[in-house]
Amino acid sequence: MKTLFEIKDNLKYYGLDRVTCFEHPIAVVLESYHDGYGSYSYMITKTFQAYHIQDVENNEELVINFWKNYLGVDVISFDLSENVLDDIKQYIDDDIPVLIFGNLIELFYSNNYKLKNWEHLFLFVGYDEVRRLLMIQDDGHLKGTPSYELFCLPEEVIKNIISKDSFFRSNKNGYILKKNDKFASKTEKEILLYLLETFALAIKSKRYSESNIISRLCEMVDKQECESERMSYIINNMKLYFINTVKFKDVFIEELLSHMHKFNYPTGQAEELRNIKNELSYVWEKYTSSTLKKFLKNKKDIDHSIPNEINLCEQKLYKKIEDCIEYLKKYKNSELPGDCKIDYLTENNEDNLIHMDGDKIIFEFNNNKIYNTWTEDYCPKVYLGDKKYNLNKKYIIYATICIEPGYLETKFEAGIFMRFDKSDMYFGGIDVNNKLVFDCIGKSNMDIEYAFPHKITLFIECSDKVAEFGFMDGNNRIIKLHRAIEIDDCIEFGIACKTWGTGKRLKVCFEDYEFQEL
């Protein structure tokens, strides 16, 4: 029995009209392998779904080559035998999740969709040999929740859902994404530049997917190809694709902005890009809805030309993408205003979770790892300074913490710490479970119920051999917890944020932080 609990859905949620049930599980695997890789996968697939780039005949091949050469992940296919569990087990034992094509119609919860057929890509992350069960990460059984959750299916059921249809144009039905020797060799900047340059080339070609789809629909009607049940199914899907294509550009832009933020992309420039995205959605939706109505009314008399207002708006997007390319090419931490390089000493920051925005210190968790601390210390910290400890003086550490929306997706504590050179570390912070905590790390914890705030100023005050912890109410210090402390010659202080549980995305901002010696 084994389950790969590290394979989790840490991606931004998009409906099926934007990200299909074939793309989503692949992106979940890639994002679990490395922060950002699932997002990059969305960006490359959305590029080829929204445009037909000149001289590119096989979009899937280019996507697979991108995974291979830029992300360092190979697609390896295999045929499933009658012993499905054993086939999947061999990869799970090597910590590799498995992707299998199937059809939801064979499952007992398929009536969620009210459709005869629903082709689907299943993500397998575990097995139980004794009970002959397989574990999947999915949302189909939950009627489309915002993220995948673990679910078990019997081996016999799995045999019934297996299909030969393939996202990868192969007659195989099992796939794995395996890291190769190029894995994690490209920087985020290199990957983003490739994606942006490919997207810019796609826009410049003016070979919009919408044009190809409506032309193909009219051609199929002329040839009377729509009479069979299979062709009718294909045509209905093409109509949906025709309407949804502009939404693929929405996904690309939203994912792009989340990455550009890490490079300190100016807020005003980001807002301009969002405005162009909204304008593009408006003009394309106006065109696709009116064109589809004409097609349904008179399938042969359709004007295939694209309105000039769409071409002008696409040109605006092209220029903005070119601006992003130039910005990234010139970007250096030491030369740009609002440098995201941290000015203070950090600890446990190997994954570059901590950066600065002006005077603010940001802790931004974007992967599926957890950063806890108790017996072993993985908690990211910013070391703000130290003082020689004097029993006759009073020391106060302040920090104002602001938690961005979405914090309920993960378990965390954020706050301030103090420690002594050869002794204990004390941590006072807010806990997402509606608590204030004041712990002696690795030895004893202390907490009190407190309604979780989006913003709060905390303090630790220590004098002699006693420390008190609480929050500020205006200019007043409200003490909530206190404890005896073990002291040494030198007191160190700083800010920290630890996580546990699911390891979802989280952004914590320390707006003010100060140390006083009285």
CATH number of the CATH domain containing 452: 2.60.120.200
Which one is predicted more confidently, 163 or 65?
A: 65
In a domain, 375, yes or no: yes
* pLDDT at 421 (0 to 100): 66
**Lowest-confidence range among 90-94, 132-136, 334-338, 486-490?**
334-338
Residue 22 sits in the same domain as residue 126: yes
Mean pLDDT of 390-399: 88
CA angle 390, 396, 401 (to 5 degrees): 150
Q: Which residue is listed with tokens 């922060």?
A: 35
**End residue of a domain, out of 302, 330, 358:** 330
Q: Which residue is listed with tokens 């806990």?
A: 431
* pLDDT at 349 (0 to 100): 87
Q: Which of 290, 255, 291 lies closest to 274 in space, CA to CA?
A: 255
First vs last Cα of the chain: how many Å apart? 59
Please state the pTM of the whole predicted model. Answer: 0.68
**End residue of a domain, out of 179, 205, 224:** 179
The pLDDT of residue 114 is above 70: no
* Residue-averaged pLDDT of the chain: 86
Question: Domain tally for the chain?
Answer: 3
In a domain, 492, yes or no: yes
Residue 501 sits in the same domain as residue 354: yes
Residue 29 sits in the same domain as residue 152: yes
Give the pLDDT band of residue 468 (cuts 50, 70, 90). Answer: very high
Residue 364 sits in the same domain as residue 312: no
Q: Which of 477, 480, 456, 455 lies closest to 394 in space, CA to CA?
A: 477
In a domain, 33, yes or no: yes
* Contact residues for 11 (Cβ-Cβ < 8 A; gap 6+): 24, 27, 28, 31, 38, 39, 42, 147
> pLDDT tens digits for 261-277?
878 788 889 999 999 99
Residue 210 sits in the same domain as residue 162: no
* pLDDT at 487 (0 to 100): 79
Cα radius of gyration (the chain) = 27
Q: Taking a C-beta distance cutoff of 8 angstroms, is the pair 51, 59 a contact?
A: no
Residue 490 sits in the same domain as residue 354: yes
Residue type (1 letter), 302: I
Residue 315 sits in the same domain as residue 455: no
**End residue of a domain, out of 330, 356, 384:** 330
Domain hosting 372: range is 345-517
The pLDDT of residue 123 is above 80: yes
CB-based burial label for 230 (10 Å; 0-12, 13-18, 19+): exposed
> pLDDT tens digits for 307-346?
999 999 999 999 999 999 999 998 865 333 333 444 578 8
**Would you give the distance in Å from CA 178 to the centre of its chain?**
20
In a domain, 337, yes or no: no
Mean pLDDT of 290-315: 83
In a domain, 335, yes or no: no
Residue 132 sits in the same domain as residue 174: yes
Q: Taking a C-beta distance cutoff of 8 angstroms, is the pair 281, 253 a contact?
A: no
Residue 228 sits in the same domain as residue 370: no
Residue 26 sits in the same domain as residue 132: yes
In a domain, 222, yes or no: yes
Residue 88 sits in the same domain as residue 34: yes
Residue 158 sits in the same domain as residue 175: yes
Q: Of the segments 4-18, 110-124, 175-189, 364-378, which one has the largest average pLDDT value?
A: 175-189
In a domain, 336, yes or no: no
The pLDDT of residue 199 is above 80: yes
> pLDDT tens digits for 208-264?
988 888 887 777 766 665 556 666 767 777 888 889 999 999 999 999 998 998 787
CATH number of the CATH domain containing 111: 3.90.70
In a domain, 370, yes or no: yes
